[in-house]
Structure 1
Amino acid sequence: MTGVAPAAGLLTGRRVVVVGGASGIGLATVRAAAAAGAAVAVLDADATGAADAAEQAQAAGATACAHPVDVTAEAQVSAALDAVAAELGGIDAVLHVAGVMRGQGTELADLPLELWQQVIAVNLTGPFLVAKHAVRHLGGGDGVLVLVGSKAGVLTGSGSVPYGASKGGLHGLALTLARHLGPQGIRVHTLCPGDIDTPLMRRSLDEARANGVNGAQVARIEAALGRPEDVASVLVLLASPASAGIAGTVYTG
């Protein structure tokens, strides 16, 4: 990744929903989408963070709104997307960035079922629910749905059993959605970043240390963390009509 910002005007006239937009890659995406000319809706379980992200987009001159939402609660997901469509006059792209990373360094035999279920619920059931209720707003020929996965579970394994499994499942979900939704004029991608410097990743590395993972190994990962802004620039590109010829899975560093 080069760190090149998305072109101004790339998303002019586009209405973009960022699910998980309060921090990390999501917040960087809200900022980048606003800078590229989009009207932006921020959905996140962190109501205060979502509102702050929307205010940042407004300060940059964009139309923006925020809605608190638990992606595992179907009624909340449905209501939030309907509210966004009403406020913005429709939805052109949904960028699903929300996720959790837990169980880093936990041995399989010690992994609680509850932790497995929690990670799967947020990282796999959540994207399913968002896709299910976004689809009625995205038809018309140039709708875009991007599910942010990870290289973990697709190209490599993960230090967290539930996280790796959830991201592998999300990749399969996106491939299947692309087949089902393509005929409706909805382009679907999985974006699979590597290790990115986000609050989520920092908490995961702290958890790995607490669970006895080799400190030098953790330090190597920390030293090589990528920038959220670089992933955000790719998400903005995928949300734009300029990416109409791209299909399938997209990888970043």
Structure 2
Amino acid sequence: MICYEHPLNERIRMLLRLEDLFDKVAFFSEKQDAFDHHSALVTLFEILDVTSRTDMKSDLLQELERQKQALEILRGSPKISEGALNQVLGNIQVASQGMLSMPGKIGEHLRDNEWLMSIKQRVGIPGGACEFDLPSYHYWLHLDHATRRSDLEEWLGPLLPIERGFSIVLHLLRNSGKKFRHTAQRGVFQQMGPGRVAHMLSLKVDDSLPCVPEISANKYALNIRFVTSGARQKPKIHEEDVEFELTFCNL
């Protein structure tokens, strides 16, 4: 099965983008090649841009506190594992303390680094990070991989409390809701939802099917079209029935 997650508000959309970026920067940082470390640094700059758009630290702290209070209400319920509950609450406490201990704004340590900001300015230009544009960066890319990796870890480290915070929120979101099996007749599915509220849709489809879902949703209706697409063909509706699993995820 392949899972497609569709955010239904801007906040969840931003958290999913950050999750993707943090996964990429961790992947590239662990490599040894200079091109991989260049990709890690470019991804780090993307994280900086995304986190600078809103007061994310405050928003995450408020959401974690809200989830903490909601979970505390469940204490003593026979349907809830006390051990699992304590573990989640402990993770929330650690993540909150980590964000509270972050000095200044998110990524301030990166913005204060003139060398990094000079690179960030150039990588936004196609081909702008060539050796004749940034000789000092070219020199850095020729250092041994352990030194480059150590620098990347130093630059990424102050951002990790944010990652721990949104990872908990997304974990709770993904584990909410009930799964339903549906069939899209001739590749099309529609469901009317009188006021149904959700923060994200999770849709799973057999990965052997040559189609992808196009999702349009609001609190009144959900429309899904399964479309065949690829580099060598124009998109068109998959004309066979498609079975899929759907979950309305809500914090």
Length-normalised TM-score, structure 2: 0.24
Larger Rg over CA atoms: 2
Q: Please state which structure has a larger fraction of its residues in strand.
A: 2
Higher relative contact order (CA 8 A, sep 6+): 2
